[in-house]
Amino acid sequence: MIKDILAVGDSFTYGEELNSRDEAYPIKLGELLGASVINEARPGSGNKRMIRNVISHVAQGNPVDLVVIGWTSAGRMEFADMAGVYDLWPGYAGDLVGKADGYNWRTEMLRYINQYHDPAYLYQQYLLDIILMQSFLKTQGIRYVMTRIGSNEYYHNTYKHKFKSLTDKIDTEDFIGWPNDGMTEWTLGCPLGPNNHFLEAGHLVVANKIYEHIRNRGWVS
């Protein structure tokens, strides 16, 4: 029986552009399962933040029967300084928190990343993150479902063949759609917000997709 769900992800899992975050797919999944949901997703989140949140949640002894992970782009990198923890990625166009307070080295960091980042390395780290997260949850005896934004993603399409030894290590049983599709493909035709996040209808599609996977796994009656 699944009573407590922890969800992590980026703006898609958070429910960006929805009228209410209660319409986000983790919450709708909880309604289908009759389970409580903690949605720790955050817009702009990188994958390292998701891993930290999951491990911290488990380490603190919080109840969790199912972890739902909506992996984001491989290009997102997490950093920390005296102003806090933040994510940057090549081509970042958001608000650099702390910049207005004189922490202008974040702008310098972004300039460096744009000029010198190694996309193959970033994709390799992404694969390692997935493998390590799967291993951690398995050793803790915690069920999980993984998804991702979509398969039409630069890093994946460009470098998936270079790291076949790692992609072969990914347990695809509970990674829905890997390697062929993701949430973007599932929600084709659903209305999008101005910033291209799928809206309520898309979140229902994703919630039902995950729910059917859970039922097929025999985790609910």
- Same domain? For 86 and 194 the reply is no
**Which structure tokens are listed for 83?**
């102003």
pTM of the prediction? 0.95
- Same domain? For 17 and 125 the reply is yes
Q: What is the Cα–Cα distance from 75 to 202, expressed in whole angstroms?
A: 24
- Same domain? For 173 and 127 the reply is yes
Greatest Cα pair distance, the chain, in angstroms, is 56
- Same domain? For 91 and 182 the reply is no
| pLDDT per position as a tens digit, 2-55 | 999 999 999 999 999 999 999 999 999 999 999 999 999 999 999 999 999 999
- Same domain? For 88 and 142 the reply is no
What is the band of 101 on the pLDDT scale with cuts at 50, 70, 90?
low
Q: Does residue 110 sit within a domain? A: yes
Q: Does residue 153 sit within a domain? A: yes
* CA dihedral for 68, 73, 74, 76, sign (positive or negative): negative
Tell me which residue range forms the domain holding 13: 4-75+120-216
| pLDDT per position as a tens digit, 121-144 | 999 999 999 999 999 999 999 999
What is the band of 102 on the pLDDT scale with cuts at 50, 70, 90?
low
Q: Does residue 221 sit within a domain? A: no
Count CA atoms within 13 Å of residue 18 on its CB side. Answer: 22
- Same domain? For 112 and 134 the reply is no
- Same domain? For 145 and 176 the reply is yes
